[in-house]
Structure formats: C-alpha cells, structure tokens
C-alpha cells in the first residue's frame, strides 16, 4: 500500500498562471481525505534538479505516489512553458518508485517517460499528447485532471481509474458541447490522450 505522497508544482507559470498550483491544491484536498498518507510538497524554487535529486528524494525510503503538476514533453517535466526542466527522463529514487505511481497532468509525458517507469517497477497515469487548458473553465479542467487520482484514492485499480476518468471527461464534454464546442473539443482530446503503464490491475491503497 502507498502511504507516502510527494507533490511537485509551482505558481505564476508564464502561460497558465496558477493553474498548476490550483491543481495541486485540489490534489491536497483529495489526499487529506486519507489520513494514512503522508504528504510532502516540492514547489516553486525547489522544482530543480539539485534539490529534487540530492535533497528531497533521498529522504524517501518507501514506495510513493508522485503527483507532478507541470508542463511536459515526451521525456520529462518543465517549468515556464517547457524551458526549464526539473525532472528529465528519470526520477532518481529507486525506493519511492519501486511499487509506486507517478500521476501527472503534464503534456506528452506518456510517450517516453511513462514507459520508462516500467524498468523501475513503477506505474504511470498521465497524457501522451499535448493538452490545451482553457482557463475560463479552470475548475472543469482541474476536476478532470484529478478525477483519476480521486478514483485511485477510493481504491480503484489503475485500469478502473482510467475508465472512471474518461467517464468524467465524457460528462463534462456533454455539458459543454452546446455551450462551447472548442472547449468540449479540448476535453475530448485530453480524454483520448489518457494512458497508463505498470500495475494496471492492482489497487495502490
């Protein structure tokens, strides 16, 4: 069972403002429903290679839930609209990844990074394409981004959480279809981009 969560996020993004901060705040709210899960936050200036690899991650000696709210590409995670990487290709923490899970809303990290976790006995839930976020509908995008996490914290398997997340996207797409077709299309693209790797038939709680 996972009893440790590490959240990576920052605020005042060049493109999305406080979207990643607000996603993390929502994730904290969900985690607070599980008093058995310890929480650690890595934010703002500490989202950098030296701090994460040399200071923070060495503290963790149990399998963990790593929640990463940031920009991304095929290989890693970035601040400031994909110009400043803070996790690139690998996470340097065998103990927290062994049996652990990376859950993220970062674009395209499912292409290579998510697959790479298989070699570290870890699992992945995220996106394999670029995703558009409409800030006028921020609450809807945050709810959809985190619905898989909510279901995992309810004890769902990774596979079931993916199904439930897609159903939540479908619900919001139906609500928005007649109001704003472009936003509904962005949610549809995100829904179709959800990908999972690893222990898909197991619960992490």
The residues that bridge with 114 in the sheet, in sequence order, are none
**Structure confidence by residue, pLDDT tens digits, 113-134:** 999 999 999 999 999 999 999 9
**Structure confidence by residue, pLDDT tens digits, 41-85:** 999 999 999 999 999 999 999 999 999 999 999 999 999 877 889
Report the distance separating Cα 160 and Cα 26, nearest Å.
Answer: 21
**29, burial (CB in 10 Å: exposed 0-12, middle 13-18, buried 19+):** exposed
**Structure confidence by residue, pLDDT tens digits, 141-190:** 999 999 999 999 999 999 999 999 999 999 999 999 989 999 999 999 99
What domains lie within the chain, and their CATH numbers?
4-196 (3.40.50.1460)
**70, burial (CB in 10 Å: exposed 0-12, middle 13-18, buried 19+):** buried
Look at residue 16 in the predicted model and tell me its pLDDT: 95
Rg (CA), the chain: 16
pTM for the structure as a whole: 0.97
Average pLDDT over residues 196-203: 96
Which helix (H) or strand (E) segment holds residue 187: the answer is: helix 181-193
Look at residue 21 in the predicted model and tell me its pLDDT: 97
Report the distance separating Cα 115 and Cα 95, nearest Å.
Answer: 18
Report the distance separating Cα 88 and Cα 183, nearest Å.
Answer: 30
Supply 203's token pair. 């619960």
Mutual angle of helices 181-193 and 158-176, in 10-degree steps = 170
């Amino acid at each position: 069972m996972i009893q440790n969560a590490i959240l990576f996020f920052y605020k005042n993004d060049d493109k999305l403002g406080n979207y990643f901060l607000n996603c993390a705040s929502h994730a904290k709210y969900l985690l607070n429903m599980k008093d058995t899960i310890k929480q650690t936050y890595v934010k703002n200036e500490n989202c950098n290679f030296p701090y994460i690899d040399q200071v923070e991650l060495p503290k963790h000696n149990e399998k963990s839930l790593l929640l990463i709210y940031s920009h991304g590409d095929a290989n890693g995670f970035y601040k400031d609209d994909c110009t400043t990487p803070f996790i690139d290709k690998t996470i340097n923490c065998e103990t927290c990844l062994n049996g652990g899970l990376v859950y993220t809303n970062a674009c395209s990290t499912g292409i290579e990074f998510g697959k790479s976790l298989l070699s570290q006995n870890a699992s992945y839930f995220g996106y394999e394409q670029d995703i558009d976020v409409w800030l006028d509908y921020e609450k809807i995008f945050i709810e959809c981004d985190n619905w898989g996490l909510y279901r995992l914290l309810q004890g769902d398997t990774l596979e079931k959480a993916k199904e439930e997340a897609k159903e939540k996207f479908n619900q919001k797409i139906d609500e928005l279809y007649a109001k704003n077709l472009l936003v509904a299309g962005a949610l549809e693209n995100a829904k179709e981009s959800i990908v999972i790797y690893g222990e898909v038939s197991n619960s992490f709680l």
